[in-house]
Amino acid sequence: MTESTGTGGVRVSMKDIFEEVQRQGKLLDRIANSLPDTETQVSDHEMRIRKLEQKAGWLFGAIGLLGAVVGVFSVSLGA
């Protein structure tokens, strides 16, 4: 694979580099194939956010309505 030149250096052949690049490419393919599908995760996340926004919208709408009703009654009662 590598051979020592006797001067403290190491000689690496083009074949060694090619084999290592091929090995790294196969490893990268395996990693990429083992990752979850991001498109599915993004759409699931968007659906959960939409549901949360809808619940918060109802809550803030109810609080606003309650505030308006209390305001009308407090003005009409002369408080």
Q: Are residues 46 and 13 in the same domain?
A: no
Triad 24, 26, 43: Cα angle to 5°: 105
Q: Are residues 24 and 44 in the same domain?
A: no
Q: Are residues 18 and 52 in the same domain?
A: no
3-state secondary structure of 13: coil
How many structural domains does the chain have? 2
Q: Are residues 55 and 76 in the same domain?
A: yes
pTM as predicted: 0.39
Give the chain's end-to-end CA distance (angstroms, integer): 92
Q: Which residues make Cβ contacts (< 8 Å) with residue 4, sequence separation at least 6?
A: 10, 11
Give the pLDDT of residue 2. 57
Q: Are residues 42 and 72 in the same domain?
A: yes
Domain extent for 77: 38-79
Residue 10 has pLDDT above 80, yes or no: yes
Give the pLDDT of residue 1. 54
Q: Which two tokens stand for residue 69?
A: 């009703």
Give the pLDDT of residue 73. 82
Exposure string over 49-65, b if 16+ CB within 10 A, otherwise e: eeeeeeeeeeeeeeeee
Residue 46 has pLDDT above 90, yes or no: no
Q: Are residues 23 and 48 in the same domain?
A: no
